[in-house]
Structure 1
Amino acid sequence: MSSSDVRSILNLPQAGPSTSTRKSTTTARKPDGISRELYALIGDNAPSLAEAQASIAAVKYRERPSLKTKKVNWAWTSFTPAARADSPARLSHWARITDADPAASVAYFGQFNLHGPSIMEYSQFEYDQHLNDPDWTPHETAYLFDLLKTYDLRFVVVADRYSYRGQTGNGAERRRSVEDIKDRYYTICRRLIRTRTATDPQAQQQLIHAFGFDKARETKRKQYASELFHLTAAEIAEEEALYIEIKRMEQNERRYRADRDDLMRTVMGLDSGLVEFDQADVEAIFGVDKNKKRKRAEEGEPVPPVPLPPKMNAKDQATFDLTHCIYHIPLPPSNPQSSHLASKHPVHQSVHLRSSKIPLPKQNASIRITELLSELGIPAGRMIMPTRSNIEMYDSLLQAAGALVEMKRQVDRVEQELRTVRAQKEGLLPTLETRKMRSESVTSTDTTTTNNRRSRPL
């Protein structure tokens, strides 16, 4: 069957001559300014890139923009600053000639001339009553406040411009450091705040705290900073080594403290009872060093009094000890026959745990004691209220339980021996003499009977 027969069966038209339609491909023209190899690398997928390259290659120079504005002339003119209207100072700047009002530019820039923080002021009465200082005269104090107002409380600039020559202005020049200026200004501010009436005492105290300044501390801080800045390479290396050593010691101390706490929890079931004292508490208990007291007295700082605990009589001490569960262990009586040296210098006892004085039972006995306490409903672990009386009762209970366990062990052993003797009497078990004879016969080395048996004829 041919293809024509199939077409006639299916009522399909006969196939005509095939006409091949060839698609016409439009090739883009290579733009100028780009080599053929580069254009071939671009490919057909990026025609925009080729167009951009062509536009970039076509543009060589950008035309100069044509501005249709009018030309402006500038002139060097003089003016008076708005912040210094009361002074004869004249300054100069470039100004536009086309401006209708030349002072407008000066007023525009004058709005940015903002002043710094406000300076506190005082009256002559307040100065006479509260602000007198033997190192500062009223005229020099007024001169200082004028400089602070002029330079907006910039103490470094004020110290650089400070040149006081007396009230007449013909005296010797006197300079002041930044610390002196700050100390004088903040001292005056604190005194004025304290003496003036305030509606809110808390806000007044906060303001006084805000004006706090320690001249000696600031001087030492700058001295230390200067010394650190001028350290040599060897000194820097030494300080780094010391810093590393201090960090290592701190890590060891933390590790020892953790080990100590773990040991106390393991041995006693309690947290560490060793107290860590602060430096202030140590000074309060043992007193401040004499050298520190002398140094504070030389610097003019008041030496704080050492707080001593109030003394209590025997009755109050007993009440206090009973309230706080404190028990004083009486000292052992001294032997009158001992030598004077031994009584004057008692025997030194090394550091030890208090739990080491407690007699511990054996391991088997401790297991049985724990089982006995669990049968009685008494926890064998940490006590809830570990007072002295409870601990004494608990200790006596442990001793009684230990004695009971030991007594039961002895009773069990005696009963076992009695049962063994009864069985021997009834003949169920051999006696001790019989067992001894059997053991001797087993271990005998006589072999005559064995040799006679072997010599018999078969």
Structure 2
Amino acid sequence: MSAADVRDMLDLPSKGQGPARPAPKRVKTEQPGKRLDGIHRELYALLSSTGAAGGAGAGHAGSPGALGGEGLMMHPISVIENRFKAKPNWKQKPTPWTWRKFTNEARTDGLELSHWVKGAPADDGEAVAAEYPFAKFNKQVDVPAYTDDEYDEVLQDVSWSRRETDYLFELCREYDLRWFVISDRYEYQAEDGEPRSVRILEDLKERYYSVCRRLMEHGRDKGHVEWSSRDLEVYNAMNFNKEKELMRKQYLERLLSRSPAEIQEEEHLIQEYRRLEEASQKMVTERAELLRLLEAPQTLKTFAQHHTSQGLAQLTSNLLAADKNRKRRAPDMATIQQLQLQQQQAAAQAQASTPHGQKKHHDDKHAAARGAALSKAEQAQNASVKRVAKRVPPGQEDAYGVSFHDKLVPGVFLRSTRISTLKPAIQSKVAGVMAELGIAPKLAMPTSKTCERYEAIQQAVATLLEAKKQADKLDGEIRVLRARKGE
């Protein structure tokens, strides 16, 4: 073996060459992590990024078919380890409990009891009586009390004695105004001379609230003080009406004693009422919309722009331009004849009232004024007369095919395009009816008369369809009423 071979094996540069090339870096292989306990081998292989971390049976690293290989997408899997409850720390000092006496402030008999309380005992060894924590929940209703003078003045009642009233108020204090319990425990034994009657729950409420209201009124009148808002609210809340309460309970009993057929009929009536209410609301809306269309249109612009001189000048120019562009209708023959007759009558009256010496001078002035005032009217009259002279005799316009128009639309158009159309929903139904009648949707010869008759037929068919709709609606309502009556 030569020195060159040794240098080549040790990766040393040969003689006359530069520095030795760096050694290749070693790739660190990932050490498999600590295997978790309590998990299957196949599931642990899925957690590995190469698929070979789970040991045998997991497949070769990098193979597409192996579990957990590079061809599969890894999803996070929650692993729950088996953990047991921590052992108790027996060396910890236990919490002391003390047997203490206590008194309940809610009791009036002064009974003293004992219970276990968390904490160390007192220094002297004696248990200290502590405040009972549940005494704060003892809430009692403030039932008013009255004296003999107050009862004799304002609380007397024919159907209630003083003894029975005291018995009622004692039950109210004992059961905290729980009226169902009070009514169940009410067992008053009337003495001789007292009115005997069976008291129901409403009688007890009426007597109690009436006594409370009278006591409040008596205290206000006696002390001459004004009630606060809270006092007035309490006074109004104790206004008990026995008749209304009995009526309310009767209505509730009737409501709960309904049969399934009555409930179904009531639901049907409610649905019918809602339908009629919606129809009425829709009719009111349509009527308001129609009235809005019939009324004069309301401008959405303000008049602030016309308050200045520049705005007024612009408005005047716009009005003049609109007046020039407006086409004035020529006066008809009756207006021309009436105007000529008025002129002749005025000339005759002027000749009869003017003297012979001033006749010629008056005629000249009248002729000049008439010529100045009626120059435009005469021009319009002459043009109108010429047009009237060219007209055919009345009743023969159809024979000659002559028609007159109030206003002509500029441009060329087809007469069939001017036929009025209906709403899309109604138009389809009208087209179906006219197809049944054998009328083509498009006119072969749309003359003026043909188009006029076609529009009249459309309107008649639409009217008949609307009448049929209303008739079907009334027929359905009649059948429903007859079915209810038959049930």
Normalising by structure 1, we get a TM-score of: 0.47
Normalising by structure 2, we get a TM-score of: 0.45
